[in-house]
Structure 1
């Protein structure tokens, strides 16, 4: 007699339960590294990590992402809701990149010393061009097209 024939009628087989638990565990593990919805990345930060917020409606083409005065020279601002990092590598030069780490999709969390950092596995990217400065990421942060008009920075 098999163990499945000893189960009450309508009860799931042991194999089914084990597979379901394994799939749920895998989903939790994957979401921990690839989620853009983590509370640690829910606000924008400046070079020193202080909270500066972000516009709720900003991010679609033509909407103001930030003001030039919000972006420190040599640093930047992470706009978590918009999925964008805006940097000012040198005075008056503004760049924008995806805020999603190319290693496993975690949201980057800080900008200091010309480096954009990912908290999940330690990848670091250049604030000037998005290139990888330290792995495990092997691909640069994708550039975003922006326009600067007066003191407004917008997605192009």
Structure 2
């Protein structure tokens, strides 16, 4: 009779003992921790809010238009004018036949020495106008075009003119009233 070689019995796993530190430290969980979920949700909310605050194109690249992000002051330091307005630009910054978007207004110079201002919000769907070239204010969203002389619609889809904004020119200073 041949005997088979001795084989030890398979090892039995030791029974698990409760960890005094708690069950969370015994084995890693496949679920994320509550703090991680809350932090991720907060970060996603902040990212969404910042994305919504941005605009499509703030580069100022276009056909001769400079875009100013705020309605703040120009080089004059935002000093109040004699009539109580706030300086928003200098006449030298506004080209003849062109203009400059300054916050919620667009300041234009349709003819030499004549300065006007209109809302920078297109009357079609509220996009900010960007380009002012050859006496035409252009909305980049749907290509509505407005006259720099009076804000009237030259090409739709907008059907209403840009709202006029009150400005005063005192020497080199253009002030918003």
Q: TM-score range by the shorter chain?
A: 0.5 to 0.7
2:110 is paired with a residue whose SS is strand
Q: Which residue of 1 aligns with 2:99?
A: 76
Equivalent residues of 1:100, 1:106 under 8 A apart:
yes
Q: Which residue of 2 aligns with 1:151?
A: 172
Q: How does 1:117-128 map to 2 (within 5 A)?
A: 117-128=138-149
CA deviation profile, 1:63-122 (whole Å, cap 9, x unmatched): 21100010111111111xx21100001111000000000000000110111100001111
Q: Which residue of 2 aligns with 1:113?
A: 134
Q: How does 1:15-54 map to 2 (within 5 A)?
A: 37-40=54-57, 42=58, 48-49=64-65, 51=66, 53=68
Structure of larger gyration radius: 2
Equivalent residues of 2:71, 2:104 under 8 A apart:
no
In 2, the alpha carbon distance for the partners of 1:138 and 1:36 equals: 27
Closer/same/farther in 2, CA of residues 148 and 128 from structure 1, 3 Å limit: same
1:85 is paired with a residue whose SS is strand
Equivalent residues of 1:45, 1:77 under 8 A apart:
no
- Structure 2 residues not aligned, in runs of 5+: 1-47
In 1, the alpha carbon distance for the partners of 2:143 and 2:67 equals: 23
Closer/same/farther in 2, CA of residues 127 and 46 from structure 1, 3 Å limit: farther
Q: Which residue of 2 aligns with 1:57?
A: 72
Closer/same/farther in 2, CA of residues 100 and 52 from structure 1, 3 Å limit: closer
- Structure 1 residues not aligned, in runs of 5+: 1-27, 29-34
Q: TM-score, normalised by structure 1?
A: 0.67
1:100 is paired with a residue whose SS is coil
Closer/same/farther in 2, CA of residues 43 and 152 from structure 1, 3 Å limit: farther
Equivalent residues of 2:122, 2:129 under 8 A apart:
yes
> Which structure has the highest helix share of the two?
1
How many residue pairs end up in the alignment? 120
**More relative contact order, 1 or 2 (CA 8 Å, 6+ apart):** 1
Q: TM-score, normalised by structure 2?
A: 0.59
